[in-house]
Amino acid sequence: MPEAKSKAAVVIRDLHSLDDLRKVETLEQEVWGLSDRDVLPLTMSVAAKEAGSIWLGAFEGSRLVGFAFGFLGMEDGQVMVHSHMLAVRDEYRDLDLGYKLKLAQRERALSMRVHSMTWTFDPLQSRNAHLNFGKLGVISDRYKIDFYGPETSSVLHRNSTDRLWVKWPLSSRRVQERLQGKDRRAELLDVLSRLLPLIRFNGDGKPARTDLDAALTRQRIAIEIPSDIVSIEQKNSALAHEWRDATRWAFTEALKAGFFVAEFCRTVRGKQGPGAYLLERGKLEEFVPDINHHLAVVR
């Protein structure tokens, strides 16, 4: 397996050819461990590309090391891009490639005059949570239970397929500031240190539930998750299921009561410690007033 050299050697570009799209199939199988049946069919990829979908690849030489695929969709009557897949080969992770692929997707969407992007991710995946909320500035008010069914052939879909449906308001001030690298970590840690989490990462690595009624009377709620759910799934699937049940309960109850997910802060206690979501009471539109920026552009 080639060593990841440096991020400078990796180029991000649109995927054009059949050969490019075939390379995606291999990467899908490598990253998700999908069966042949669950890989996106090549004919579908070609048609989607031709019909205006955004296909991007990260290449080291001719080797595809990451990709992003997003198609056009409608949400609340407005055109948006739904990013269906983002993947980076294991040995190329944490080099900002996921981030750069998202930035390229954003540019492509804006050039199509689309100002909103959505996608889903497993809220137990701490790395994804940090990339999505921390680095990109998404927000979410939807939790989907078993989005792709109870399981698929993917190794990443064994502990059910619950997903947060996130929204990335591409032209909003929030996102622009986030992309300028404005660091809110100190402020977030301060807020989180004063909250009793609704789900707390206990000393024994288990999720502990605290009082729901008390949490729902507050302005903010914290939900903690472990820093590495993948290794928990491998070592102790019962514990991974416990985390799923607990966080599913906390997110669904809080969202039902009028909260939304505003932030994620990694490692809130010590280096290998848990991360925490911060939920705020209210509506996304109040928190991000220019969330529907595209309406102003269209009119």
Ligand X SMILES: CC(C)(COP(=O)(O)OP(=O)(O)OC[C@H]1O[C@@H](n2cnc3c(N)ncnc32)[C@H](O)[C@@H]1OP(=O)(O)O)[C@@H](O)C(=O)NCCC(=O)NCCS
Residues that bind ligand X (CB under 6 A): 31, 85-88, 93-99, 121, 125-128, 130-131, 135, 227-228, 266, 275
Smallest gap from residue 49 Cβ to ligand X (A): 18
Sign of CA dihedral 262, 266, 268, 274: positive
User: Residue 27 is which amino acid?
Assistant: L
Q: Which is nearer to ligand X, 13 or 256 (CB)?
A: 13
Quick check: 252 and 223 in contact, CB under 8 A?
Answer: no
Three-state DSSP at 280 gives strand
Task: Provide the β-strand partners of residue 224.
Answer: 276
Using the minimum distance from each CB to ligand X, give the nearer residue, 88 or 192.
88
Q: Which is nearer to ligand X, 77 or 181 (CB)?
A: 181
Helix then strand then coil, in percent of the chain rounded to 5, is 40, 25, 35
Bridge partners of residue 70, in order along the sequence: 54, 83
- Are 162 and 229 spatial neighbours (Cβ–Cβ below 8 Å)? no
Question: Which lies closer to ligand X via its Cβ, residue 50 or residue 183?
Answer: 183
Q: Which residue's Cβ has the minimum distance to ligand X? A: 98
Cβ neighbors of 124 (< 8 A, separation 6 or more) are 159, 162, 225, 226, 229, 240, 243, 244, 247
Smallest distance, ligand X to C-beta of residue 275, A: 6
Which ranges of 95-236 does DSSP label H, i.e. alpha helix? 97-111, 126-129, 173-179, 185-193, 212-216, 229-235
Report the nearest approach of ligand X to the CB of residue 97 (Å).
4
- In angstroms, give the least distance from the CB of 119 to ligand X: 7
When the beta carbons of 88 and 117 are compared against ligand X, the nearer one is 88
State the minimum distance, in angstroms, from the CB of residue 89 to ligand X. Answer: 8
DSSP string, 232-258: HHHH-HHHHHHHHHHHHHHHHHHHHTT
Nearer to ligand X, 207 or 215 (CB): 207
Is the CB of residue 238 less than 8 Å from the CB of residue 207? no
- Rank residues 138 and 291 by Cβ distance to ligand X and give the closer one: 138
Fill in the DSSP letter of residue 136: I
CA–CA gap between residue 284 and residue 281 (Å, rounded): 9
8 A C-beta contact, residue 31 and residue 25: no
Q: 72 or 103: whose CB is closer to ligand X?
A: 103
